[in-house]
Amino acid sequence: MSARAAPTTFYREIDRNRRNSWILVLVVALVLAALGAAIGYATDFGAWGVAAALAVAAAMSLGSYFAGDRLVLLSSGARQVDVANPPDRYKQLVNVVTEMSLAGGTPMPAVHVIEDSAPNAFATGRDPKHASVAVTTGLLDKMDREQLQGVMAHEMSHIGNYDIRFTLLVGVLVGSIALLADWFLRYTFWFGGGRRGGGRDRGGGGLGLVIFAIAILLAILAPIIGRAVQLAVSRRRESLADVSAVELTRNPMGLARALRTIAEDQEVLEVANRATQHLYIVNPIKSFEQRASSMWDTHPPIGERVAVLRGLAGQFGQDPATLS
């Protein structure tokens, strides 16, 4: 293998995940546009009604943008660590986060610890200057420094890749789809027939009825499609963070061993719920991770993630067989 082949393959993996993420966002945007156009035609409110619904969705998203991270940390029972003078128990954690911050060229995030024996971690915030990482005490107790470095590199990659902002963008689009669809279905139920009977009074005849029927169908299917694509984006960003973490540590097997340790741990993360499950490095709701990959999963299967990391190991002089 030539000296140049390894980095080319490595960066191709990063580019592939980024490209696929943006393609998925485009799909959601197109679904939203199609739904908005159909509803605008089928109702008396037209484009103004669609614009008002989107404005409400944007206002709700702004609240999540500026306060969502604090709510997540509060609901998770996370306590901030004084990085200037950390307790002995957390000194290694602070050192590793500092290393990964320097390696990635990102500001030092706030460091939080969750008192829970199940190993896991997540990152949150709206941008690298307003970011936090949180780890459980179980992760600190059950991992060596190499594994901890892999986990923190993954979380710092989420911050450096602007995954939190990216996820917000997708959330706004999917939330707008759900809001528009719900409003249109309620409007149809209470006022029945949409824009003057689907265009009958305007002489639209059959065409108006067809478009009204399409609007109804889109209102039913679009939220399902949007949610499925949102979860696909989440899986892509997790894959991107895995590979980006290797860029920081040059040690694929450290992260691979960490993922295996978290996935095989039998303890339940008590503070996790379905609203926050997508944030964690490994889905803390075990039933999801135990199933085969599907469009409703928030993360790629652990076996698939480990296989990618093992495939990169040789490029960094590591033996994949060391992961038994």
pLDDT at 164: 79
Q: 111: part of which helix (H) or strand (E)?
A: strand 110-114
Maximum CA pair distance of the chain? 78
Q: How confident is the model at residue 292 (pLDDT cuts 50, 70, 90)?
A: very low
Q: 78: part of which helix (H) or strand (E)?
A: strand 78-80
DSSP H helices, the chain, are 5-42, 46-75, 91-104, 137-142, 145-160, 163-191, 196-199, 205-249, 252-264, 286-290, 302-313
Alpha carbon distance, N-terminus to C-terminus of the chain: 25
pLDDT at 155: 97
Give percent of the chain above pLDDT 70: 83
Assigned token pair, 4: 């140049």
pLDDT in tens, 2-39: 444 444 466 777 777 778 778 887 888 888 888 888 88
Give the burial string for 192-226 (b: 16+ CB within 10 Å, else e): eebbeebbbeeebeeebbebbebbbebbeebbebb
Catalytic residue among 155, 238, 247, 289, which? Answer: 155
pLDDT at 35: 84
**Top-ranked range on mean pLDDT: pick from 48-62, 135-149, 203-217:** 135-149
DSSP per-residue letters across 210-234:
HHHHHHHHHHHHHHHHHHHHHHHHH
Q: How confident is the model at residue 46 (pLDDT cuts 50, 70, 90)?
A: low
Q: How confident is the model at residue 66 (pLDDT cuts 50, 70, 90)?
A: confident
- Distance in angstroms (rounded) separating the CA atoms of residues 64 and 71: 9
pLDDT at 202 over 70: no
Q: How confident is the model at residue 225 (pLDDT cuts 50, 70, 90)?
A: confident
**pTM to 2 decimal places:** 0.80
pLDDT in tens, 78-128: 999 999 999 999 999 999 999 999 999 999 999 999 999 999 999 998 889
* 115 noted as active-site residue: no
pLDDT in tens, 133-167: 999 999 999 999 999 999 999 999 999 998 877 87
- Distance in angstroms (rounded) separating the CA atoms of residues 272 and 125: 18
Between residues 286 and 90, the one the model is more confident about: 90
Cα–Cα separations (whole angstroms), residue 206 to 42, 134, 197, 219: 13, 57, 11, 20
Mean pLDDT, to the nearest integer, of 295-303?
A: 85
**Top-ranked range on mean pLDDT: pick from 46-55, 168-177, 272-281:** 272-281
Q: Calculate ∠ Cα 131-100-284, nearest 5°.
A: 60
- Distance in angstroms (rounded) separating the CA atoms of residues 302 and 289: 7
Between residues 321 and 181, the one the model is more confident about: 181
Residue 125's DSSP bridge partners are: 131
Mean pLDDT across the chain = 83
- Distance in angstroms (rounded) separating the CA atoms of residues 322 and 121: 24
pLDDT in tens, 169-190: 787 788 788 888 888 888 787 7
pLDDT at 8: 46
Positive or negative, the Cα torsion across 214, 216, 217, 222? positive
pLDDT at 290 over 70: no
pLDDT at 178: 84
Q: How confident is the model at residue 1 (pLDDT cuts 50, 70, 90)?
A: very low
Positive or negative, the Cα torsion across 302, 303, 307, 308? negative
